């Protein structure tokens, strides 16, 4: 069993801050090719600028947003809630997430029926695995969604995988725009912000067979969140790996449900059915070999 608690690095960036993210865009430009949601949402590809003390620069992102229907009286309902979701990957960067689930999570949330869509941003980092750079990236993404995207979003639910737990909890602990945080196989290093996250709820998912970051990381985060305020839920998947490849569909459903509840979307049958659908075969999902080599918000807190 791995005893590592971090995938962060302190090595110098290998590219000039003025350059955009080096993640190969050819790997991911759009939602899954075979999806029942094409036409219900669309994907934009903004290059988001970062103006910080670390030298600035920019990173690539993919914004899934609902297609406006001028004839619908509820097409702008998501603007009434002003809630969006932001998904962060791990130490290797990228925009697809563990087992590729970020693609379908984003499509599903952005295409919820009856005007209940949640615009969702899948974002890369300027310098993956370096939290001091990734935190300004997330803050810049929130600012862009609030002031420059035209969506007017002012509250956010953050999702992070592996190293991504560091910027998720760092930002969530200090920025009140964050109203919920969900992680898969999070590290514990640089995650002290979880102690200030409450009353915003947290969802922690982890596989007990994780050879990259032990599930004890999520157990420690669960304890650090505290039990006085807010809601905390941890779900451990017996024997599963760092990307939850055996339970990726279940993890996807749990994260979608968590974010829907955080956003105040009513979980009726139409929404529930959308979240349970499968957007494509598992062959569309990324694998975890490169990493392995190197709840209910209204109910009581629980460990599952």
Angstrom distance (rounded) from CA 260 to CA 255: 9
CB 87, CB 102: distance < 8 Å? yes
For residue 69, the model assigns a pLDDT of 47
pTM for the whole structure: 0.84
What's residue 73's pLDDT? Answer: 40
What is the pLDDT, as a whole number, of residue 201? 98
- Tens of pLDDT, residues 93-111: 999 999 999 999 999 999 9
- Cα gap 301→282, rounded to integer Å: 32
Measured over the CA atoms of residue 75, residue 106, residue 130 and residue 250, the dihedral's sign is positive
Distance CA(206)–CA(184), nearest Å, equals 6
- The reported pLDDT for the residue numbered 2 is 54
Q: Which residue numbers in the chain have pLDDT < 50?
A: 1, 16-38, 69-75, 282-302, 304
Contact in structure between 4 and 185 (CB atoms under 8 Å): no
* CATH of span 41-294: 3.40.50.1820
Helix ranges restricted to H, the chain: 77-81, 101-110, 131-147, 165-174, 216-225, 248-262, 269-276, 289-293
Provide the greatest CA pair distance for the chain. 56
């Amino acid at each position: 069993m791995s005893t590592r608690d971090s995938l962060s690095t302190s090595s110098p960036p290998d590219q000039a801050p003025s350059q955009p993210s080096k993640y190969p865009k050819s790997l991911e430009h759009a939602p899954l090719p075979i999806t029942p949601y094409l036409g219900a949402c669309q994907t934009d590809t903004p290059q988001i600028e970062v103006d910080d003390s670390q030298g600035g620069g920019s990173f690539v992102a993919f914004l899934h947003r609902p297609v406006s229907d001028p004839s619908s009286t509820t097409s702008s309902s998501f603007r009434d809630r002003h809630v969006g979701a932001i998904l962060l990957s791990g130490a290797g960067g990228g925009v697809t997430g563990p087992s590729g689930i970020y693609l379908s999570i984003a499509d599903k949330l952005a295409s919820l029926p009856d005007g209940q869509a949640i615009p969702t941003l899948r974002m890369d980092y300027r310098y993956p695995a370096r939290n001091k750079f990734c935190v300004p990236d997330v803050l810049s993404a929130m600012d862009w969604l609030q002031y420059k995207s035209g969506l007017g979003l002012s509250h956010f639910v953050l999702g992070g995988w592996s190293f991504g737990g560091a910027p998720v909890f760092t930002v969530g602990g200090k920025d009140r725009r964050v109203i919920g945080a969900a992680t898969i196989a999070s590290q514990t290093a640089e995650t002290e912000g979880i102690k200030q996250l409450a009353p915003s709820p947290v969802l922690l998912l982890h596989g007990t067979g994780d050879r990259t970051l032990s599930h004890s990381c999520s157990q420690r985060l669960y304890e650090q969140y505290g039990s006085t305020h807010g809601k905390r839920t941890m779900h451990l998947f017996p024997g599963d790996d760092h990307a939850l490849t055996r339970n990726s569909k279940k993890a996807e459903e749990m994260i979608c449900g968590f974010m829907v509840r955080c956003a105040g979307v009513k979980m009726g049958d139409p929404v529930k059915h959308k979240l349970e659908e499968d957007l494509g075969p598992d062959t569309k999902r990324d694998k975890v070999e490169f990493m392995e080599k190197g709840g209910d918000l209204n109910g009581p807190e629980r460990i599952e």
